């Protein structure tokens, strides 16, 4: 048989969802010669099984390799096969169809496969029509809503920008205006400061809290009062927002504002998808426009460890890129790759400095003990060789959990904690503790010994002991530990050590932790996970385990129950999260965040009484649609 080459071959895979939650595929090829002895490789969003038409040869989480009984490709015939998601998962939208397909021939050569999904409407759009806010209306379209707004009925033309009153010589506040000017310029939404602009006077008001500000906008000019650089920064951000959403002529009046919560976060999963460094800088800029102040950087998970740490360089060198022949195969659409990347320490420091200019601190995360599949492929010594637990994670990874009974595990965790917290001056470190598979540590001789020595009964007790020990190590470095909600488990009360817990499945675990005295950040999936699809339309991208998360859902909740006001001080804030299983390219991030990020801005900042309802947030989102377009933030990129 003649060898085939890519040049004379077109291989196609049609894919569609069936009524009964299955995924049908038809593989066909046009080429000069038949293709034989091939393996079809591609990725699904989660583990699948073959219903008929093919044989599964290898599965790593959602990545799958299939073989076929008949060598018909290139003969004018097609191969039909059917898959179904395990655990009866529903392929509810386009994200659930196969991605990144290719053929591997017997000699190792690769042939690309074009995927042709059926049932996608290429004209599908959810971008809201761009609307200009009306300066004659008493309702202020600003996101987040300020604590107080008293319109005076006048209007002011600020289209030329703002002229700083230089007679006042406070250095911090002057820097704040310069930061907003630089932000506006690099995002093409300037001018903010301009010689021909409206007079902007700064005034110190020591009675205001650090993040608080007041703005008096009159036809003659503007006064911005604050006690510190942070408040001045937020006041300036408000002016930039008003200028944009009102199209240059803003309503006059008095704004008094301060955030409801200290923690107003946005998380990004850079492990499942590698985002270009430039994209992270852009995200931090966008967060600043919405007065968010914490970036939670998730750079390692089962699929990759992307920060170029010196202590364990093999981690990122071997897991940064995925695809054919790599440790991590072509998961989440990577095909034969190589696809991915890593972040240098120099870039991490640049991101820290960039964020600091915008009053944003960075919380780095290391994921232990679970979500460590790639780490364990590279450093198998972090797992007990005699461990027969055979745990399978919710994402479908086998044996993804580090073993805290081993000295090597402590060398690893402490070295990472030490090095990484040294890079991020915020002095907070998120330790993960997410989704340990229930079977983990159940058949490990070293864990059994640890349990006997430490008087631990269950795997949750082992986890509580481990998190407490690691958190106390971190605390001794002068760093505040943080973790996902599961870290409260264990007979010892969990992680302890003044840790911050992130409540993600719902608010319940966070409320329980807050009642026990933990500080809590609320990030409930049904309201704040931007990877959950925004609607049930098949053309959307997104997961569905938490239902759907619409724009209205993003504001229709309260971090603190009204009937438990005593938790106000314990629930320190709210955060949006974007996990990247459904992200195929950086611009998908923009479409998944906009406009729902408006919701977390309102939740984190606005007073309970001022939080917009579904109708108001939709009107505001239409005004901000213009802002997103202006900064080049794409609201309609799904493939
Ligand atoms: C999570 O979403 N598993 C923290």
pTM exceeding the 0.85 threshold for the entire prediction: yes
Picking from 268, 296, 438, 418, the residue whose alpha carbon sits closest to that of residue 365 is: 296
Q: Given the CA of residue 502, which atom of ligand 1 is nearest to it?
A: 4
pLDDT at 1 over 80: no
- Ligand 1 neighbourhood includes 434 CB (under 6 angstroms): yes
244-295 tens-digit pLDDT: 999 999 999 999 999 999 999 999 999 999 999 999 999 999 999 999 999 9
Domain shared by 328 and 420, yes or no: yes
110-144 tens-digit pLDDT: 999 999 999 999 999 999 999 999 999 999 999 99
Mutation to probe ligand 1, out of 365, 433, 484 (largest number of atoms < 8 A from CB) = 484
Look up the CATH number of the domain holding residue 480. 3.20.20.80
- Centre of ligand 1 to C-alpha 410, Å, is 24
CA atoms of 343 and 105, how far apart (whole Å): 34
- Which residue has a Cα nearest atom 2 of ligand 1? 504
Domain shared by 191 and 291, yes or no: no
Which of 257, 289, 324 is the C-terminal boundary of a domain? 257
Instruction: Give residue 2's pLDDT band: very low, low, confident or very high (50, 70, 90).
Output: very low
- Centre of ligand 1 to C-alpha 116, Å, is 31
Task: Calculate helix-pair angle for 614-630, 229-245, nearest 10 degrees.
Answer: 90
Domain shared by 247 and 268, yes or no: no
- Centre of ligand 1 to C-alpha 524, Å, is 10
Q: Tell me how many helices (H) and strands (E) the chain has.
A: 15, 28
Mean predicted confidence (pLDDT) in 546-572: 97
Domain shared by 203 and 248, yes or no: yes
Residues sharing a CB contact under 8 Å with residue 342, sequence separation 6 or more, in sequence order: 274, 306, 307, 308, 316, 317, 320
Domain shared by 229 and 323, yes or no: no
Look up the CATH number of the domain holding residue 19. 2.60.40.290
CA atoms of 39 and 386, how far apart (whole Å): 33
- Centre of ligand 1 to C-alpha 298, Å, is 11
Q: Given the CA of residue 394, which atom of ligand 1 is nearest to it?
A: 3
pLDDT of the residue at 451:
98
Is the residue at 215 inside a domain? yes
Domain shared by 448 and 589, yes or no: yes
Averaged pLDDT of the chain:
96
Is the residue at 4 inside a domain? no
- Ligand 1 neighbourhood includes 504 CB (under 6 angstroms): yes
CA atoms of 483 and 480, how far apart (whole Å): 10
Domain shared by 223 and 270, yes or no: no
Is the residue at 535 inside a domain? yes
Instruction: Give residue 172's pLDDT band: very low, low, confident or very high (50, 70, 90).
Output: low
- Centre of ligand 1 to C-alpha 594, Å, is 21
Is the residue at 113 inside a domain? yes
Is the residue at 167 inside a domain? yes
Q: Given the CA of residue 529, which atom of ligand 1 is nearest to it?
A: 2
Domain shared by 360 and 437, yes or no: yes
Is the residue at 143 inside a domain? no
Q: How many domains does the chain divide into?
A: 3
> Parallel, antiparallel, or unpaired: how do β-strands 79-85 and 339-340 relate?
unpaired
- Report yes or no: 521 and 501 within 8 Å, Cβ to Cβ: yes
- Ligand 1 neighbourhood includes 502 CB (under 6 angstroms): no
Mutation to probe ligand 1, out of 371, 435, 483, 522 (largest number of atoms < 8 A from CB) = 435
Is the residue at 3 inside a domain? no
For residue 173, what are the CA distances in angstroms to 81, 358, 605? 64, 13, 21
Look up the CATH number of the domain holding residue 213. 3.30.379.10
Share of the chain above pLDDT 90, in %: 95
CA dihedral 596, 597, 600, 606 (to 10 degrees): -100
Mutation to probe ligand 1, out of 504, 506, 529, 532 (largest number of atoms < 8 A from CB) = 504
pLDDT at 167 over 60: no
330-365 tens-digit pLDDT: 999 999 999 999 999 999 999 999 999 999 999 999
- Centre of ligand 1 to C-alpha 434, Å, is 6
DSSP 3-state of 7? helix
Instruction: Give residue 32's pLDDT band: very low, low, confident or very high (50, 70, 90).
Output: confident
Cis peptide before 485 (omega within 30 of 0): no
593-636 tens-digit pLDDT: 999 999 999 999 999 999 999 999 999 999 999 999 999 999 99
Domain shared by 304 and 381, yes or no: yes
Domain shared by 300 and 379, yes or no: yes
Q: Report the run of H or E that residue 23 belongs to, with start and end.
A: strand 22-31
Name the burial class of residue 417, with classes exposed (0-12), middle (13-18) and buried (19+) by CB atoms within 10 angstroms of its CB. Answer: buried
- Report yes or no: 275 and 585 within 8 Å, Cβ to Cβ: no
- Report yes or no: 217 and 254 within 8 Å, Cβ to Cβ: yes
379-428 tens-digit pLDDT: 999 999 999 999 999 999 999 999 999 999 999 999 999 999 999 999 99
Is the residue at 635 inside a domain? no
Q: Which domain holds residue 33?
A: 10-117
Which of 205, 231, 257 is the C-terminal boundary of a domain? 257
- Centre of ligand 1 to C-alpha 489, Å, is 15
Domain shared by 274 and 245, yes or no: no
Other beta carbons within 10 Å of 3: 9
Mean predicted confidence (pLDDT) in 299-316: 98
Which of 218, 239, 257 is the C-terminal boundary of a domain? 257
pLDDT of the residue at 168:
53
DSSP 330: S
């Amino acid at each position: 048989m003649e060898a085939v080459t890519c040049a004379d071959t077109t291989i196609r895979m049609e894919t569609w969802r069936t009524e009964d939650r299955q995924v049908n595929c038809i593989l066909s090829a046009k080429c000069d010669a038949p293709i034989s002895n091939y393996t079809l490789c591609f990725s699904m969003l989660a583990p699948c099984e073959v219903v008929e038409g093919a044989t599964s040869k290898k599965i790593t989480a959602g990545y799958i390799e299939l073989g076929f009984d008949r060598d018909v490709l290139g003969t004018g015939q097609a191969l039909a096969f059917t898959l179904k998601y395990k655990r009866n998962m529903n392929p509810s939208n386009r994200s659930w169809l196969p991605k990144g397909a290719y053929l591997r021939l017997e000699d190792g050569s690769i042939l690309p496969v074009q995927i042709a999904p059926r049932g996608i409407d290429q004209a599908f759009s959810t971008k809201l029509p761009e609307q200009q806010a009306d300066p004659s209306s008493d309702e202020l379209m600003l996101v987040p809503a300020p604590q107080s707004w008293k319109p005076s009925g006048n209007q002011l033309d600020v289209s030329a920008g703002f002229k700083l009153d230089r007679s006042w010589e406070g250095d911090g506040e002057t820097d704040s205006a310069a930061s907003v000017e630089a932000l506006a310029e690099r995002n093409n939404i300037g001018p903010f400061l301009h010689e021909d602009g409206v007079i902007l006077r700064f005034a110190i008001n020591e009675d205001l809290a650090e993040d608080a500000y007041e703005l008096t906008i009159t036809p003659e000019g503007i006064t911005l009062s604050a006690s510190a650089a942070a408040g001045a920064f937020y006041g300036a951000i408000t002016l930039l927002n008003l200028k944009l959403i009102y199209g240059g002529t803003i309503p006059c009046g008095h704004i008094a504002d301060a955030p409801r919560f200290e923690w107003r976060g946005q998380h990004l999963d850079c492990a499942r998808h590698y985002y270009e460094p430039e994209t992270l800088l852009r995200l931090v800029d966008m967060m600043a426009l919405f007065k968010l102040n914490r970036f939670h950087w998730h750079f390692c998970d089962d699929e990759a460890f992307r920060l170029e740490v010196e202590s364990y360089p093999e981690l990122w060198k071997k897991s940064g890129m995925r695809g054919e022949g790599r440790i991590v195969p072509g998961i989440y659409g990577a095909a034969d790759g190589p696809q991915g990347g890593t972040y240098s320490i120099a870039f991490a420091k640049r991101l820290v400095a960039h964020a600091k200019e915008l009053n944003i601190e960075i919380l780095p995360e290391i994921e232990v003990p679970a979500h460590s599949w790639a780490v364990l492929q590279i450093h198998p010594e972090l797992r007990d060789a005699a461990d027969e637990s055979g745990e399978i994670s919710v994402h479908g990874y086998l044996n993804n959990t580090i073993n805290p009974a081993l000295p090597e595990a402590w060398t690893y965790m402490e070295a990472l904690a030490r090095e990484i917290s040294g890079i991020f001056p915020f002095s907070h470190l998120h330790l993960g503790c997410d989704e340990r598979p229930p079977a983990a540590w159940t058949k490990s001789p070293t864990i059994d010994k640890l349990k006997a020595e430490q008087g631990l009964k269950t795997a949750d007790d082992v986890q509580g002991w481990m998190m407490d020990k690691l958190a106390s190590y971190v605390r001794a470095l002068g760093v505040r530990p943080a973790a996902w909600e599961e870290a409260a488990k264990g007979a010892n009360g969990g992680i302890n050590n003044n840790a911050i817990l992130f409540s993600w499945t719902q608010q319940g675990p966070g409320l329980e932790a807050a009642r026990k005295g933990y500080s809590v950040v609320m990030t409930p999936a049904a309201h704040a996970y931007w990877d959950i699809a925004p609607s049930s339309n098949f053309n959307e991208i997104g997961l569905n385990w938490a239902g759907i998360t619409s724009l209205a859902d993003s504001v229709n909740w309260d971090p603190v129950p009204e009937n438990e006001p005593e938790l106000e001080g314990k629930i320190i804030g709210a955060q949006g999260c974007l996990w990247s299983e459904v992200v195929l390219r950086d611009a998908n991030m923009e479409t998944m965040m906009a406009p729902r990020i408006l919701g977390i801005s309102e939740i984190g900042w606005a007073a309970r009484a001022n939080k917009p309802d579904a109708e108001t947030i939709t009107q505001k989102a239409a005004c901000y649609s213009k802002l997103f377009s202006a900064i080049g933030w794409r609201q309609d990129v799904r493939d």
